[in-house]
A and B are shown apart, each in its own frame.
Chain A
Amino acid sequence: DAKTTQPNSMESNEEEPVHLPCNHSTISGTDYIHWYRQLPSQGPEYVIHGLTSNVNNRMASLAIAEDRKSSTLILHRATLRDAAVYYCILNSSAGNNRKLIWGLGTSLAVNP
């Protein structure tokens, strides 16, 4: 099963951009890259996902490397409410592979 590697923690200042990296060197061609975040005492919340092309939505942007072995979640202007644990996971569309591996994620602190 493909795994992801993320830094344990990162820090940002409010209203500045944040780039959260994720390495997934064993990604397969059918793996989608998903990002979720989890605020304290809440369930995970979907942020964004992509396969090959960069993606944008109202919450964030996802930049995917050309070889797909890494990706970066971009929060354009961090707010205090963005302080959370961010998870990068691979989600396979191949067959019935449902053994999703979440990892520990990156704990993002946002300074006022």
Chain B
Amino acid sequence: NAGVTQTPKFQVLKTGQSMTLQCAQDMNHEYMSWYRQDPGMGLRLIHYSVGAGITDQGEVPNGYNVSRSTTEDFPLRLLSAAPSQTSVYFCASSTGLAAYEQYFGPGTRLTVT
């Protein structure tokens, strides 16, 4: 199993540009989440999904959209990038949530200039 994969590893955007961060898992996990990690702050939940076709907002959802058309994929879309979205983004998946371990991808380092 490849586990959780994320692409790209690095990305530089100009303010106002849009892009999609890709996340895929091959473990047939129902739950998938997107987090961002900023210096001096813990991981913050952006959006999550409890299964195909079902998504919901986390702690910091503004400026981001998600969809879950398949169990395997959970892309994160930045509609109009802002410098405040400069961060490291992690995707995670798990069989369940509360009583199960989450598997994290390697992260995408995004810089918005």
Report A's interface with B, CB cutoff 8 A: 30-32, 34, 36, 42-46, 49, 51, 87, 91-93, 96, 98-105
Contact = CB atoms under 8 A, between A and B. Distances in A.
Given A32-B98, A45-B104, A96 B56 contact: yes
Contacts of B4: 43
A102 B107 contact: no
Contacts, number: 60
Contact of B40 (A45, A51, A100, A104): A104
B101 interface: yes
A100 B103 CA distance: 15
A31 B105 CA distance: 24
Interface of B: 4, 33, 35, 40-45, 48, 50, 56, 58-59, 90, 92, 97-99, 101-107
A42 to B, nearest CB: 7
Kindly name the residue among A45, A98, A104 whose own CB sees the greatest number of chain B CB atoms within 10 A. A98
8 contacts: A43-B104, A44-B90, A46-B101, A87-B43, A91-B97, A93-B99, A98-B45, A102-B43
B97 A103 contact: no
A44 B37 CA distance: 11
Contact of B104 (A32, A44, A101): A44
